[in-house]
Amino acid sequence: MAKEIYSTYPMVKYLRREALPTALCPGCGGGTVLNAFANAVDGLKLDPKDLVVVSGIGCSAWIASPYFLADTLHTTHGRAIAFATGVKVGLPDKKVVVISGDGDLASIGGNHLIHAARRNIDVTVILVNNFIYGMTGGQVAPTTPFGAKTTTSPYRNIEHPLQISETVAAAGASYVARWTTAHVYQLIESIKTALQVKGFSLVEVISQCPVQYGRRNRMKEPAEMLRWFLRNSVPVSKARKMRPEELEGKFVVGEIVRRERPEFTEELNKLVDEVQEHFGLKGE
């Protein structure tokens, strides 16, 4: 039964069939993200042989690794971007993509995230933000909304969530966009843009986790979470005219930043050329 469904799904050519079905919970936003990524790759007619996908640890790390059929590097918790940095320097002509969660990339991996943005290395990061540590059982995360309940904030969360996209934009990324899993087409377009932008790009995807987050916060049905996203999404252009208190609890969606800055691997190779030139070491 399951096999029949997969065989009729047009994006199945991008998936590692022997790894299916996915380990994601019913109603998880991870499937939407995988679908969006596959559609972006398909839309750009990218050869998966020109892709290396790196992920860390956690539910969202599984989205692309092992399911996406490319060279995949499934790394230690929080370090995916640092691993990807080494891959990109070795393969500057390939598209190097990191797909992982908020707990992985913005919490334990926060340092690598801001420094990769500062360096402006040409890596595309798709950061799936579901406000929670899903795989370990729904503990509070640095992205958990103020006041929300989790297994380790059973009364309420008294910490303020990290604004990931704004932080990465401030750190110097070339491209930052944020969407939710309720904005599938916009998400695909942003992933396409991110894959084409030269420099560090981040697409933050607000995603539903009905099992660990939703059911503890009066949204146990996936659709309820998607309606919550839609109701509270504010386009960037509109958000710029709003006061901070009005934006409390809202999801600002759209392109946060898009700009050109010298890219790291290009600068690195330029430096090598200059040094070799200077010392008369240029080979023919």
Name the segment binding another protein (CB under 8 A); options: 75-83, 156-164, 211-219, 243-251.
Answer: 75-83
Does 237 bind another protein (CB under 8 A)? Our answer is: no
Residue found by looking up tokens 């981040």 in the block = 202
Does 13 bind another protein (CB under 8 A)? Our answer is: no
Please name the amino acid found at residue 44.
L
Name the segment binding another protein (CB under 8 A); options: 86-94, 155-163, 205-213, 248-256.
Answer: 86-94
Does 249 bind another protein (CB under 8 A)? Our answer is: no
Beta strands per DSSP E along the chain: 51-55, 71-74, 95-101, 123-129, 132-133, 139-140, 175-180, 201-206, 233-235, 251-258
Name the packing angle between helices 164-171 and 110-119 (round to 10°): 40
Does 266 bind another protein (CB under 8 A)? Our answer is: no
- Closest CB to another protein among 23 and 223? 23
Does 272 bind another protein (CB under 8 A)? Our answer is: yes
**43 contact partners, CB below 8 Å, separation of at least 6:** 188, 192
Name the segment binding another protein (CB under 8 A); options: 168-176, 233-241, 245-253, 268-276.
Answer: 268-276
Does 52 bind another protein (CB under 8 A)? Our answer is: yes
Local structure of 15: helix, strand or coil: strand
Among candidates 7, 127, 156, which has minimal Cα distance to 58?
Answer: 127
Count the site residues for another protein by CB under 8 A. Answer: 40
Query: Exactly one of 27, 48, 142, 145 binds another protein (CB under 8 A); which one?
Result: 48
| C-alpha torsion angle, residues 47, 258, 172, 187 (rounded to 10) | -50
Can you give the binding site for another protein, defined by CB under 8 A? 16, 18-19, 48-49, 52, 54, 65-66, 69-76, 79, 82-91, 94, 111-112, 115, 268, 271-272, 275-276, 279, 281, 283
